């Protein structure tokens, strides 16, 4: 039997249970056994966290010089590097993602805190060339206030960093809600926040369900900004909730990212990029390249090479360094994948490899790398986000045809283009309606590069120099430089 560990939330610099005493069980996807419990926050817990953040905002954090805030961010970055292996281990146990990736990502995420620490004192105002004599008008960027950050389970450290780092750099305070599917990683991260010396109340991390915890957080009247990553359906509820407090909202949602391989592409590079894009992290990524278009001239040869590569991917225990794909996080994902594959086959799709759950474990939800040929991209696996290692493949003839096909989807997060023709790469990347396009590469991140989508993939950008401004408001100041009194407003003519 797995020894169950009990974790607490981090509110106002203290480790606390929920007001109700209720807890949520979290499961290790490798064996589907409960390995930890976390508090199930209710409205009272949310209120405590938000008020702690508001108090810290008013009395300390927003008043610090940006360089002082930057020191705390760099301290947090150091803690991440020193504890990357431990944090990676916890994330692997809690999510099922392979340890090689979680450890590497935890270490790299430190770069985000260093990057935004460097920007903390670089955000400048302006002098407005005003049309009124004797008036000087300036604009400055001021912090917003309390930020609610809602984080999914699949890339917790990254999706926390792109919200928390710019928010803190600009003087805001934050309440983070961890996903109920894998909340422990962020509670372990809270220990690093504490070690970094960040003052109490500046960062608060709570755990709970969408109802009541998530709703209470996104409707709280002291929350000024909501930064959400997750699914479109939940996002619609959050947008409605934001009407209660008129908070600013940014949404990083799902994707059904198209990838195109032209007949002049360097094939080994394309094969590696496609494999990383859809089978990395077992396909549990919002930018997974799950729709593949191959030009007809190379279609059969390239597809056969891709199938051979996919069939060699090793499934196994997430902590094993030989493992290339771990289990799916939950039965809900497995059920959704199987339902969509079944419907696609009934409508004419053809499984070329994978397609059925693996039998390597009777306890975990392992699903092999799967490739399905589709006559068109209106079939379920080609149209719907599956959040798993399933690639739908289609044939195309011309550049004009494939641009139309790639844009014919409700999502618009990521996309990929493989070609040796520089001009074509430029043309197609400009024509694709997506927030991100990778040309001759895929699935890369950087604190310097903006991340975010369009259409049903949401709005707002995370990372990059412009994203830090989204955690500020513009304040206009009028200064009268004249020694003369203002004109009497009631004297006419």
Helix, strand or coil for residue 274?
Answer: helix
Helix, strand or coil for residue 420?
Answer: coil
> What would be the CATH architecture of the domain defined by 258-439?
3-Layer(aba) Sandwich (3.40)
For the segment 365-393, what is each residue's pLDDT rounded down to a tens digit? 999 999 999 999 999 999 999 999 999 99
What the block records as the tokens of 274 is 């496609």
Q: Report the catalytic residues.
A: 252
For the segment 166-224, what is each residue's pLDDT rounded down to a tens digit? 999 999 999 999 999 999 999 999 999 999 999 999 999 999 999 999 999 999 999 99
**DSSP letter for each residue of 327-386:** --S-HHHHHHHHHHHHHHHHTT-EEEE--S---S-SSS-----EEEE-SSTTSHHHHS--
State the Cα–Cα distance between residues 354 and 131, nearest whole angstrom: 68
Residue 487 pLDDT: 86
* Residue 1 reports pLDDT greater than 60: no
For the segment 332-354, what is each residue's pLDDT rounded down to a tens digit? 999 999 999 999 999 999 999 99
Using a 10 angstrom Cβ sphere, with 0-12 exposed, 13-18 middle and 19 or more buried, the burial of residue 3 is exposed
| pLDDT band, residue 493 (cuts 50/70/90) | low
Nearest to 154 by CA among 335, 382, 327: 327
User: Average pLDDT of the chain?
Assistant: 97
Q: What number does CATH give the domain 5-253+457-477?
A: 3.40.605.10
Mean pLDDT of 44-52: 98
* Residue 2 reports pLDDT greater than 70: no
For the segment 223-263, what is each residue's pLDDT rounded down to a tens digit? 999 999 999 999 999 999 999 999 999 999 999 999 999 99
| pLDDT band, residue 399 (cuts 50/70/90) | very high
Residue 97 pLDDT: 96
**Domain coordinates in residue numbering, the chain:** 5-253+457-477, 258-439
Let me know: does 149 contact 167? Beta carbons within 8 Å. yes
Helix, strand, coil shares of the chain as percentages rounded to 5?
40, 20, 35
Residue 351 pLDDT: 98
Region of poorest pLDDT, from 1-10, 43-52, 246-255, 340-349: 1-10
Residue 491 pLDDT: 82
């Amino acid at each position: 039997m797995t020894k169950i560990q009990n974790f607490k939330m981090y509110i106002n610099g203290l480790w606390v249970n929920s007001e109700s005493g209720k807890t949520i069980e979290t499961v290790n996807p490798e064996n589907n056994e409960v390995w930890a419990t976390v508090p199930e926050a209710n409205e009272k817990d949310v209120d405590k966290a938000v008020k702690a953040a508001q108090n810290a905002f008013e009395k300390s954090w927003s008043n610090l010089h940006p360089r002082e805030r930057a020191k705390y961010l760099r301290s947090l970055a150091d803690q991440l590097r020193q504890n990357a292996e431990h944090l990676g281990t916890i994330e692997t146990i809690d999510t099922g993602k392979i340890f090689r990736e979680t450890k590497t990502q935890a270490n790299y995420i430190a770069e985000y805190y260093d990057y935004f620490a460097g920007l903390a004192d670089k955000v400048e105002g302006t002098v407005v060339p005003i049309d009124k004599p004797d008036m000087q008008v300036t604009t400055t960027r001021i912090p917003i206030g309390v930020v609610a950050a809602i984080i999914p389970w699949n890339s917790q450290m990254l999706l926390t960093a792109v919200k928390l780092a710019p928010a803190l750099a600009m003087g805001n305070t934050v309440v983070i809600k961890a996903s109920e599917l894998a909340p422990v990683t962020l509670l372990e991260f809270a220990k690093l926040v504490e070690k970094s010396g960040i003052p109490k109340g500046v960062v608060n991390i709570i755990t709970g369900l969408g109802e009541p915890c998530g709703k209470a957080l996104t409707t709280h009247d002291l929350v000024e900004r909501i930064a959400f990553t997750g699914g479109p359906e939940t996002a619609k509820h959050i947008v409605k909730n934001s009407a209660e407090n008129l908070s600013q909202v940014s949404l990083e949602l799902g994707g059904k990212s198209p990838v195109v391989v032209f007949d002049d592409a360097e094939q080994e590079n394309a094969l590696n990029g496609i494999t990383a894009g859809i089978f990395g992290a077992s396909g549990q990524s919002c930018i997974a390249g799950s729709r593949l278009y191959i030009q007809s001239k190379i279609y059969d040869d390239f597809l056969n090479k891709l199938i051979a590569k996919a069939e060699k991917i090793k499934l196994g225990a997430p902590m094993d360094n030989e493992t290339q794909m771990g289990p799916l996080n939950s039965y809900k994902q497995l059920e959704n994948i199987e339902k969509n594959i079944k419907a696609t086959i009934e409508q004419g799709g053809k499984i070329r490899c994978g397609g059925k759950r693996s039998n390597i474990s009777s306890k975990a939800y392992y699903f092999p790398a799967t490739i399905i040929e589709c006559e068109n991209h209106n079939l379920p696996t080609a149209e719907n986000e599956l959040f798993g290692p399933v690639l739908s493949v289609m044939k195309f003839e011309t550049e004009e045809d494939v641009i139309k096909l790639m844009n014919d989807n409700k999502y618009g997060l990521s996309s990929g283009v493989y070609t040796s023709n520089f001009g074509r790469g430029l043309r197609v990347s400009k024509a694709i309606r997506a927030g991100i396009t990778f040309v001759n590469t895929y699935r890369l991140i950087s604190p310097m590069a903006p991340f975010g989508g369009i259409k049903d993939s949401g709005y707002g950008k995370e990372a990059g120099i412009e994203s830090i401004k989204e955690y500020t408001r513009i304040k206009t100041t009028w200064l009268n430089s004249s020694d003369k009194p203002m004109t009497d407003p009631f004297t006419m003519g």
